[in-house]
């Protein structure tokens, strides 16, 4: 454990910053570069870094694969559900204008929800794929000793 | 970038190949930055240089990091690659010059997006407006693609380890695999039975 002390300390500083940056990219996508796809990937990277340093088992306790699988489907559901909601409110599929009184307000809410759905699906997809891949390697780290550089 | 691509094809150590493909993606991201495509550069850096490198390393740890060397160079493949490359290069001759204002891509719907998206959608970042609002169907499809990819991975190799009924074949293969580093059976049996 001692040889990993530096990694643990550094990752403990980095992971909150990565998560914060992911949230910034997610919710600031209207004004700057970024959006659901990029934010989802960055969000997943924080968990993957955690899994690399602390071991896949600890990571599975932090965010179990049942949760990521649920989130995976939930994201698409939120996106598609927004479309159904706009239809129920009298518009066309994914026509955000009807979500609020003004056009801009409706579009803002629509884009916000849809991007949230995208971010949810992308991040949980990345975590799920990483879990699945590393679940096949039965070691603490996802790399065997012989494969290390 | 060209040097990276060249060494990618020459190297036989797959670990170095994975690392180099990450470097290549980073170069590509820088190129997109130069072309003012900030959102694309962002995605390329996060997905190409970041996640896919990690996933490739995960794949390497499941297989091996040495490429099998063929005795005979595959001539048919080489000819096919050169033909495809030639056709692609021939296709670029028809493309308008970079930044040409009369190019078809600047004449079609782009102007309308730039002029009207402020009042029709709102966000100052037009890329977001196009992505989430004008092209909402496409983005829904993309999200479905990501979803399908994850589900596909789960279906093909996901049924082991964290399931209540572990995949017998995967467990057996793991036991046969003798150069695994972690301490043997007690933990593994617990995992298999839980």
Each residue of A17-76: pLDDT tens digit?
999 999 999 988 778 787 888 899 999 999 998 988 888 888 888 888 889 999 999 999
pLDDT at B89: 93
Alpha carbon distance A94, B9 (integer Å): 45
The stretch A128-135 carries a mean pLDDT of 84
Structure tokens at B22: 């990450």
8 Å CB contact of A33 and B179: no
Given a cut of 80, whether residue B72 has pLDDT beyond it is no
Interface ipTM:
0.81
pLDDT at B159: 65
Q: Name the maximum alpha-carbon separation found in chain B.
A: 70
Each residue of B1-20: pLDDT tens digit?
888 888 887 888 888 888 89
Each residue of B84-126: pLDDT tens digit?
999 999 998 888 887 777 777 777 777 777 777 777 777 778 8
pLDDT at B49: 87
Measured in angstroms, the CA of B28 and the nearest CA of chain A are apart by: 16
Measured in angstroms, the CA of A33 and the nearest CA of chain B are apart by: 5
Partner-chain residue, chosen from A60, A96, A144, that has the shortest CB–CB distance to B180: A144
| Residues A98-118: b if buried by 16+ CB within 10 A, e if exposed | bbeeebbebbbebbbbbbbbb
Structure tokens at A9: 């300390």
B188 contact residues in A (CB cutoff 8 A)? 138
Residues 6+ apart with CB under 8 A from A110: A82, A86, A94, A96, A99, B132, B133
Q: Whole-number mean pLDDT of chain B? A: 78
8 Å CB contact of B133 and A118: no
Higher pLDDT, A86 or B174: A86
Q: Which of A90-94, A97-101, B109-113 has the lowest mean pLDDT?
A: B109-113
Given a cut of 80, whether residue B177 has pLDDT beyond it is no
Helical segments of chain A, H only = 5-27, 36-54, 56-62, 65-88, 103-135
Each residue of B39-69: pLDDT tens digit?
889 889 888 888 888 888 888 877 777 777 7
B1 alpha carbon, distance to own chain's centre: 17
Q: Whole-number mean pLDDT of chain A? A: 84
Structure tokens at B70: 């063929």
Total Cβ atoms within 10 A of residue B25: 20
pLDDT at A2: 58
Q: Domain ranges for chain A, please list them.
A: 2-140
Q: How confident is the model at residue A142 (pLDDT cuts 50, 70, 90)?
A: very low
8 Å CB contact of A135 and B162: yes
Residue of B nearest to A119 (CA): B143
pLDDT at A149: 40
Structure tokens at B183: 């301490």
Asked whether the beta carbons of A99 and B21 are under 8 A apart, the reply is no
Report how many Cβ contacts below 8 Å link chain A to chain B: 177
Element containing residue B28 per DSSP (H, E)? helix B14-34
B118 alpha carbon, distance to own chain's centre: 33
Measured in angstroms, the CA of B105 and the nearest CA of chain A are apart by: 21
8 Å CB contact of B132 and A115: yes
Total Cβ atoms within 10 A of residue B179: 8
Q: Which residue has the tokens 């454990």?
A: A1
Given a cut of 50, whether residue A140 has pLDDT beyond it is no
């Amino acid at each position: 454990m001692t040889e990993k002390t530096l990694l643990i300390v550094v990752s403990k500083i980095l992971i909150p910053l990565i998560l914060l940056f992911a949230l910034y990219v997610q919710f600031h996508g209207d004004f700057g570069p970024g959006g659901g796809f990029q934010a989802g990937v960055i969000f997943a990277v924080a968990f993957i870094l955690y899994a690399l340093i602390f071991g896949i088992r600890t990571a599975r306790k932090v965010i179990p694969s049942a949760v990521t699988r649920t989130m995976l489907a939930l994201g698409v559901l939120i996106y598609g559900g927004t479309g159904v909601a706009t239809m129920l409110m009298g518009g066309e599929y994914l026509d955000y204008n009807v979500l609020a009184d003004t056009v801009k307000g409706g579009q803002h809410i629509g884009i916000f929800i849809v991007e949230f759905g995208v971010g949810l699906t992308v991040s949980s997809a990345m975590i799920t794929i990483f879990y699945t891949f590393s679940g096949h390697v039965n070691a603490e780290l996802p790399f065997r000793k012989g494969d290390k550089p | 970038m060209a040097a990276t691509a060249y060494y990618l094809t020459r190297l036989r150590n797959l670990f170095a190949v994975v690392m180099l493909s990450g470097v290549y993606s980073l170069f590509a991201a820088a190129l997109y930055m130069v072309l003012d495509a900030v959102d694309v550069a962002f995605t390329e850096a996060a997905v190409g240089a970041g996640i896919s490198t990690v996933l490739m390393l995960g794949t390497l740890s499941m297989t091996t990091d040495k490429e099998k060397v063929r005795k005979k160079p595959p001539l048919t493949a080489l000819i096919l690659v050169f033909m495809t490359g030639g056709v692609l290069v021939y296709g670029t001759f028809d493309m308008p010059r970079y930044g040409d204002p009369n190019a078809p891509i600047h004449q079609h719907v782009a102007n309308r997006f730039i002029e009207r998206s402020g009042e029709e959608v709102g966000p100052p970042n037009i890329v977001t407006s196009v992505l989430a609002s004008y092209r909402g169907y496409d983005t829904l499809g993309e999200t479905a693609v990501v979803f399908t990819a994850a589900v596909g991975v789960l279906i093909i190799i996901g049924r082991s380890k964290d399931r209540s009924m572990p995949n017998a074949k995967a467990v057996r293969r793991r036991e046969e695999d003798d150069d695994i580093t972690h301490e043997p059976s007690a933990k593994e049996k617990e995992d298999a039975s839980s």
